[in-house]
Structure 1
Amino acid sequence: MIFRPLSLVLLLLVAFLPIYFAATQPAQQTRTPIKHVIIILKENRSFDNLFGTYPYGHGDALKGNPIVKELSIPDGVLYMNVEVPNYPGLGFLFGYTKLAYAASPVQQDPGEGWIDYHGDWDYGRMDGFAAYSGPQSMVYIDYDQIPFYWDYAEEYVLCDNYFTAVMTESLPNFLALWSGTTVVSNDVGPPPYLPLNDTIFYQLSQNNVSWGVFGLYSSAQSPPPSEIGWLDDVQGFAGNPAMMSHVYNMSVFYQMLKNNTLPAYVFIDDYGIAHGVSDHPPDNITYSEMWTVNVINAVMQSPEWNSSAIFVTWDDEGGFYDHVPPPQINGLGLGLRTACLVISPYAKEDYIDHQVLSHYSLLKFVEWNWNLPYLNGYVANANLPLAAFNFNQKPRPPVILGPTPDIAGTLGVNRGYVYFENGSAYALTAVQASKQYPVPLQIPIDELPYAAPQNYSGDMGFTASYNYVTPSWVLPVQFYLLLSSLALLVAVLAFNGRGPSSLDLRSPLLVIAIALDLLGSALGIIYPAVPPAPLPPAQPTYSMLTGIGLFVLAVEIVILALPLIKRFSEKKPGELSR
């Protein structure tokens, strides 16, 4: 009897000691001087929309500027006369839409989603934007609207081969940035849910690496599940104190910076943070950029700056035109190209990183830096953004941009004013903003320890090849088959004096019309305009021409059957049994 209590104590020690040591083990050491990775995820912009004419601007407006003329040139559209057909393959009939400068910080919202983005892409031909995301997709902006983003590109690193993870809208790309995978192909659900154990949040917690998700919520910490956005699509996140305790108001972010208590991994999303203050059209992108500058300025003016790396990128390209076809790494992507800015005291100056990077690369950098295993093969096979850094250099002093008010966060926009958490209001026009680019370089170009400028050479650095491609001749052939079928149908209706109800089954014109329509519709089904999504929701993948062709085919079959139907209906009841 005396040994039973002792045995019980030993059993309890064996059970709980591993948990105790796991909870009290020191945080993982890093491979680099970077102790804080801050990801600011913006919304819905392509690379060409933001930086297509960097560094000169529309019409080469600043080409002669003494600072600008020395800057590196990325893979953009500076000297390209870009136009896309209003319908792929049929521009000679339906005309073309040219890429144009949007002389405003406010643009219309292009079409979004798996169908629209894959239609824009058109199997790498990059000519479907006007037809799928709409003519509003064919615009770009420059330093007049986003001077501070251009300043960061000038002072730090701009990645011009950075792609989204999945060729679709926000939710799948958020999930991929958090886990290296997705469970949906569009903004749907939940369900389905992304398993919590597959996320960077769970991995960091298990390895005692601090992390936080920041936004404008109704409480300083652990906000209601209804406010956490896409995090609600992670199974076991909402309502889980172990996870929700890492979700903070932006005011806590600024306080942590002052107290030198910022987590190792920081994720900030601008969409939904404030009404009218987002990069997502039709919000004013100049106001949204100003909010981002406030966040970055706060990091730069804090004790955390010398050990931080800030990545500013966009969740998806938003339907805006981009001319670079993405490489294929799996059945889901990569997605279309967006931009990524790398800002750090160890980031290079005026550096264009041309290597292929993606949302997976940011996830990999976090895991690599903290010596963690990669979540899956997509993350493991992604390129690391190490070329953007020089960890041997002395930490660079911050580049504080402005003018921006010294406040904690943005609440909304009304009548040209931006409203902030402390109750103040601030007005910023595009004209005022445009005077902020360029800014003087910290290091003269000829003193940089690497080749400069880093101009795009014309070599993308990869081959955009795909496992399956719908041939470019399919849509024109479909169109002519449909047109011929319609012409024959009109001829049948026009030249049969007794009207459609008496058309003979043997009418050769109608039979030929049906055959042509069948062939055209079959082509559209065999060669879909958009590849089918391997994840929910199920979506139609045939083109508009295929849809019209199937409708016309149904009409032709009905017309063909009308004489038989009429004869059958005219028979007397007694004749039907004979």
Structure 2
Amino acid sequence: MNRIFRLSLLSAALAVGLGACGGSSTVTADGINQIDTVVVIYAENRGFDTLYGLFPGANGIPGVNPSSKIQYVPQKDFDGSTLPVLPPTWGGMTVPGQSKVVTQAQSANLPNQPFQLDSASGFNLDSTVITRDLVHRFYNNQMQINGGNNDKFAAYSDAGGMTMGYYDGSKSAMWQLAKQYTLADNFFIGAFGGSFLSHQFLICACIPQYPNADKSVASGLISKIDVDANGNFLRLTPAPGSPTSVLNGAPKYLNDGALTPADANGMFYAVNTMQPPYQPSNVKPAAADASKLYADTSMPSTLPPQTQKNIGDLLSDKGVDWAWYAGAWNASLAAATSDRKFGVPVPNFQFHHQPFNYFANMDPVTHADYRAKHLRDFDSQFLSDAAAGKLPSVTFYKPQGNLNQHSGYADIASGDAHIADVINKLKQSPQWGHMLIVVTYDENGGFWDHAAPPKADKWGPGSRVPAIIVSPFAKKGYVDSSLYDTSSILRFITRRWSLPVLDGIAARDKAIAATGGKPIGDLTGALVYSQD
């Protein structure tokens, strides 16, 4: 980087204010240390091809985007035969009660190929329509990926052919930001499956543990799977009467539970949604819990407190300020002490999207001060902290349900507008001159994506998702094809603040090296900063 550009960066930074938390800092020549504030915005359930498959220059939809790197692989039936058409969308494409209705019958006999949801041929389901949810679970994701062929998404979906739908995202606000800054088109979810596990991987690159699950109230949550002679996963065990072809109905399983069978060391792992042991949780407090701050541990879905190291622990040990801001956090916490009906969904708050709330050092009584410092409410704090230049050095933001873009209860357009507005406000913060914003998705939400994930370990990586890097240091108008997964965010934070490497990241690196694969990057491929 030439000296003139270095000085221009310094001048720009001085113009908007320097340093995290409103303080001053020196723009140094060691590149990454010029970034004082990292903001991670974690949206929901959209694959890369689903939203950015038409993005110019990106590795998009085969046969549609000329920049795609492979030819389309047709979807297969359970037995491996090529489907003559896509299966219907079981139960229809839209959520009941909406003015726009697409029935199961209307969705039948689509060609075996991706189709545009928001076009006339794709039923005009534009980004303001809340479409139905699609199964997105740990074992399902692996069966859909099918060794990297990505050709059994339609077969192993409870939504049939809808998994092949995509949008023209060119009118979205985030698309425009991606054009202005950097879009990563080779970014995969760190762990197979759904939101619960992806959020855990985001903060610790680890899989939650449930010791002695077979002797607990959670024994009925242990999945039934078929394995090969070496004990490697093959498929969820089909239930009696499961269809022999996906054209006749969605697959049925003996038990697609929240827990894995025990591994060689006798440990069970939580891979699908379980509830936090602390409120807010979707498990009510125990009758004897006068504080109403805990979830009832006698309920099968309550996960025991976790004790593995997470990124918050490492940052705290180093004296680096951090926080997790959640939309509707205070409102949901208050509701836990009221007469709210537990065990039913809360539209604008998802309990399993709050990963730090599963860890023992967030106990609301014994660690009340630590918890209050690091688990914060978006609505009352985030924007005011940003405006005052007081965001923590590492800041996570989880939008509330109707703004997170999750199929089944949220549309795309509302979350798109909200996240873009948050970014606009962050760009007005005194911290902007030394800020890195990463906007990505927890997982693909059951939608097909054509890019094969890198082969690593039994936990992932899973399907590809969008990631947008917004920063004064982001390459402008750039598509970054460096290999990333969810752990790349942790890798960047670890490198920036010289933290110890989390065990899960070390294990992932070892697994990828054993396969001869490329190392997973730390997002710096998207950045340009002054260096000697």
What's the TM-score once normalised by structure 1's chain length? 0.56
Q: Which residue of 1 aligns with 2:197?
A: 172
The answer to whether residue 334 in structure 2 is matched with residue 310 in structure 1 is: no
Q: Which residue of 2 aligns with 1:74?
A: 59
Aligned-residue CA RMSD (Å):
2.9
- Report the Cα offset of residue 225 of structure 1: 7.4
- Report the Cα offset of residue 220 of structure 1: 9.3
Give the letter for the 2:487 counterpart. Y
Stretch of structure 1 that moved more, 219-228 or 129-138:
219-228
Q: Which residue of 2 aligns with 1:11?
A: none
The answer to whether residue 306 in structure 2 is matched with residue 280 in structure 1 is: no
Distance 1:90 1:46, change over 3 A: same
- Partners of 2:50 and 2:522 in 1: how far apart? 25
- Report the Cα offset of residue 85 of structure 1: 3.0
Q: Pick the aligned partner of 1:152 from 177, 181, 188.
A: 177
Give the letter for the 1:231 counterpart. F
Q: Which residue of 2 aligns with 1:186?
A: 272
SS of match in other structure, 1:214: strand
- Report the Cα offset of residue 287 of structure 1: 0.9
Q: Pick the aligned partner of 1:234 from 354, 359, 372.
A: 359
Taking the TM superposition and a 5 Å limit, the aligned residue runs for 1:57-456 are 72-77=57-62, 78-79=65-66, 83-87=74-78, 89-91=80-82, 97-103=112-118, 104-105=126-127, 106=129, 107-133=131-157, 134-143=160-169, 147-183=172-208, 184-189=270-275, 191-193=302-304, 195-196=306-307, 198-217=309-328, 219=330, 229-239=354-364, 240-241=367-368, 242-250=370-378, 251-270=380-399, 273-274=400-401, 276-282=402-408, 283-376=410-503, 378=505, 381=509, 382-392=520-530
- Report the Cα offset of residue 367 of structure 1: 1.2
- Report the Cα offset of residue 202 of structure 1: 1.5
Taking the TM superposition and a 5 Å limit, the aligned residue runs for 1:22-37 are 31-37=32-38
- Report the Cα offset of residue 372 of structure 1: 1.0
SS of match in other structure, 1:201: helix
The answer to whether residue 39 in structure 2 is matched with residue 38 in structure 1 is: yes
Q: Which residue of 2 aligns with 1:429?
A: none
- Partners of 2:303 and 2:324 in 1: how far apart? 22
- Partners of 1:115 and 1:74 in 2: how far apart? 26
Give the conservation status (yes or no) of the 8 Å contact 1:110–1:137: yes
Q: Which residue of 2 aligns with 1:445?
A: none
- Report the Cα offset of residue 185 of structure 1: 1.5
- Report the Cα offset of residue 389 of structure 1: 0.5
Give the conservation status (yes or no) of the 8 Å contact 1:109–1:136: no
Stretch of structure 1 that moved more, 360-369 or 126-135:
126-135
**Structure 2: runs of 5+ lacking an equivalent:** 1-24, 87-110, 119-125, 209-269, 277-301, 338-348, 510-519
- Report the Cα offset of residue 218 of structure 1: 5.7
SS of match in other structure, 1:187: coil
SS of match in other structure, 1:248: strand
Give the letter for the 2:164 counterpart. M
Give the letter for the 2:528 counterpart. N
Give the letter for the 1:235 counterpart. A
Distance 1:266 1:224, change over 3 A: farther
Q: Which residue of 2 aligns with 1:422?
A: none
Give the conservation status (yes or no) of the 8 Å contact 1:38–1:308: yes
Distance 1:218 1:351, change over 3 A: closer
Give the conservation status (yes or no) of the 8 Å contact 1:222–1:246: no
- Partners of 1:91 and 1:142 in 2: how far apart? 27
Whichever structure has more helix as a proportion of its residues is 1
Q: Kindly provide the CA deviation profile for residues 148-195 of structure 1, in whole angstroms up to 9, marking residues without a partner as x.
A: 121122111111110101111111111111011112221124554463
Distance 1:143 1:218, change over 3 A: closer
Give the conservation status (yes or no) of the 8 Å contact 1:138–1:320: yes
**Structure 1: runs of 5+ lacking an equivalent:** 1-26, 56-71, 394-578
Distance 1:92 1:389, change over 3 A: closer
SS of match in other structure, 1:338: coil
Name which one, 1 or 2, has greater alpha-carbon Rg. Answer: 1
Give the conservation status (yes or no) of the 8 Å contact 2:326–2:397: yes
Give the letter for the 1:392 counterpart. S
Give the letter for the 1:332 counterpart. W
- Report the Cα offset of residue 354 of structure 1: 1.1
- Report the Cα offset of residue 143 of structure 1: 2.7
What's the TM-score once normalised by structure 2's chain length? 0.61
- Partners of 1:253 and 1:390 in 2: how far apart? 27
SS of match in other structure, 1:213: strand
